[in-house]
Amino acid sequence: MVEKINVAVNGSYGRMGREVCRAILEEEGLELAGAFDLHGHGEDIGEVLGKQKLGILIQELNREVLAEGKTQVIVDFTTPMAVMNNIQLSLNCGIRPIVGTTGITQVDLKLINEWVEQAGLSAVIAPNFALGAVLMMKFASLAARYLNQAEIIELHHDQKIDAPSGTALKTAEMIAAGRGAEPRKRDELLKLPGARGATAENVHIHSVRLEGLIAHQEVLFGGLGQTLSIRHDSYDRKSFMPGVILAIKKITGFRGMVYGLENLLDL
């Protein structure tokens, strides 16, 4: 009999965290080992999910609980302000982190990689866990070989505090890596500051935050007499769960840091 992977969820009281808890409970081979959050302290996560009591009370992430050794993997959907401390604490306690929290910078990634190497463990940092979004980014990197002019429009719910999204920044990196040649520069007259959006890797990124949205991104390519649009839409947070489950099941099988879910897929 294959032993189950014990998984804790940090940010379990939030909308994404609750979906992750549900997915873990429904997946064979996984065991929900803990629920952490700054909110909902003392509530049974089972009742929070609308199920029967599980005997797992929501508590604040702390070294004492993690050091008990019950948790092998922790999934983090918290905030950009807390995520780095969460990752370091998890690794220090011998727990492998899977991080969907956005706002992680290139400088942060270098530091996380050092922590992972020092701990001799593994970590997955993924700007987006939706398999369709991962394919969208991959297709964009392929298109960039032939159409080097590209712009990104990313749209998210109004509670998302960071901009641009991690998915948009990752897409810009993949476009830059896939380009056959840099797009030609042209003069611009901006009548309003920011009218052309932000720029990453010589790719313009436009961020939209509106009530009613979940997570959406369109990559527009331009070429001689033609355009190409590659778009992905998440209409429900359940769309991220297959990618989260995939990461949980694979993270114990390798060492080192993986940045981007595409690196766990056969693409």
Which SS3 state, helix, strand or coil, does residue 82 take? coil
Q: What is the mean pLDDT of each run of 10 residues along the chain (267 residues)?
A: 87 95 96 94 93 93 85 94 94 96 90 97 95 96 95 96 92 94 82 92 96 97 97 96 97 94 88
CATH code for the domain of 208: 3.30.360.10
- Asked whether residue 21 falls in the same domain as residue 151, the answer is no
pLDDT for res 1: 56
Q: How many C-beta atoms lie closer than 10 Å to residue 177's C-beta?
A: 10
- Asked whether residue 79 falls in the same domain as residue 151, the answer is no
Structural domains counted in the chain: 2
- Under the phi-then-psi rule, with left for phi > 0, alpha for psi from -120 to 50, and beta for the rest, what region is 79? beta
Residue type, 132: G
Compute the distance between CA of residue 54 and CA of residue 225 in angstroms, rounded to an integer. 60
216 token code pair: 């959406």
- Asked whether residue 15 falls in the same domain as residue 111, the answer is yes
- Asked whether residue 117 falls in the same domain as residue 243, the answer is yes
- Asked whether residue 87 falls in the same domain as residue 23, the answer is yes
Compute the distance between CA of residue 234 and CA of residue 219 in angstroms, rounded to an integer. 15
Compute the distance between CA of residue 114 and CA of residue 123 in angstroms, rounded to an integer. 11
- Asked whether residue 109 falls in the same domain as residue 135, the answer is no
pLDDT for res 2: 63
Consecutive H or E run containing 35: strand 30-36
pLDDT for res 6: 96
- Asked whether residue 156 falls in the same domain as residue 114, the answer is no
* Selection from 10, 18, 23 nearest residue 243 by Cα: 23
The angle at the Cα of 241, spanning 251 to 6, to the nearest 5 degrees, equals 45
- Asked whether residue 136 falls in the same domain as residue 93, the answer is no
- Asked whether residue 48 falls in the same domain as residue 105, the answer is yes
CATH code for the domain of 99: 3.40.50.720
138 token code pair: 């991959």
Residue 261 and residue 251 in contact, taking contact as beta carbons nearer than 8 Å = no
Cis amide linkage into residue 183, ω under 30° from 0:
no
> What residues are annotated to the active site?
156, 160
- Asked whether residue 23 falls in the same domain as residue 113, the answer is yes
Tell me the residue range of the domain where 248 lies: 5-125+237-264
φ/ψ (deg, to 5) at 194: 85, 5
Consecutive H or E run containing 227: strand 226-234
- Asked whether residue 151 falls in the same domain as residue 173, the answer is yes
pLDDT for res 181: 78
- Asked whether residue 87 falls in the same domain as residue 157, the answer is no
pLDDT for res 63: 87
| Residues whose CB falls within 8 Å of the CB of residue 190, separated by 6 or more in sequence, listed in order | 196
pLDDT for res 114: 97
Enter the pTM of the model.
0.88
